[in-house]
Amino acid sequence: MTVKSQPPATLRIPFVRRCQISGDVSGPAMLLDLSLQGVYVALAELPAVGSEVEIAFGVPGNARTLVIQCVVAWVQKKQTHPVHGLPIGFGARFKSMEAEDIRIVARTIKTYCESNPIYRQYL
């Protein structure tokens, strides 16, 4: 099996981690997924679509906290299904990332995919 150096940019993995939001809304929140393009943030107080936020979070196996500038791409104003639906929150698109941050996020996604048979096909 040939493994690409980076996972596809659109591939999202489950990634439940605490984070810190700064911007139009600020405070602690929870990340629910991660891709090379952005994250989903569970948060009751929603920023406006198009607004800029800074999201700080850690990843397993890395001591450095990632601090990434983002743009709010969409908001989820209510949970559509009690089990399968996303909770109230927003999708954030990464606006700018340092090269090392890109490598860290890519490595995190790749490690998850390698450890999960369902996701392994995406490498």
pLDDT at 2: 41
How many of the other CB atoms lie within 10 Å of CB of 39? 25
pLDDT at 5: 60
Q: Quick one: which H or E segment has residue 3?
A: none
Domain positions in the chain:
13-115
**How far does the chain reach from its first CA to its final CA, in angstroms?**
9
Averaged pLDDT, 97-104: 93
pLDDT at 1: 37
Q: Do 90 and 72 meet the contact criterion of CB atoms below 8 Å apart? A: yes
pLDDT at 116: 87
Q: Do 93 and 45 meet the contact criterion of CB atoms below 8 Å apart? A: no
Residue 63 has pLDDT above 70, yes or no: yes
Q: Quick one: which H or E segment has residue 102?
A: helix 99-115
Residue 41 has pLDDT above 70, yes or no: yes
Q: 10-19 pLDDT, tens per residue?
A: 899 999 999 9
83 confidence band (pLDDT: 50, 70, 90): low
Pull the structure tokens for residue 45: 């107080």
Pull the structure tokens for residue 108: 């995190």
Q: CA dist 84 to 26, 80, 81, Å? A: 27, 8, 5
pLDDT at 92: 97
Region 13-115: CATH code: 2.40.10.220
Residue 66 has pLDDT above 90, yes or no: yes
pLDDT at 3: 42
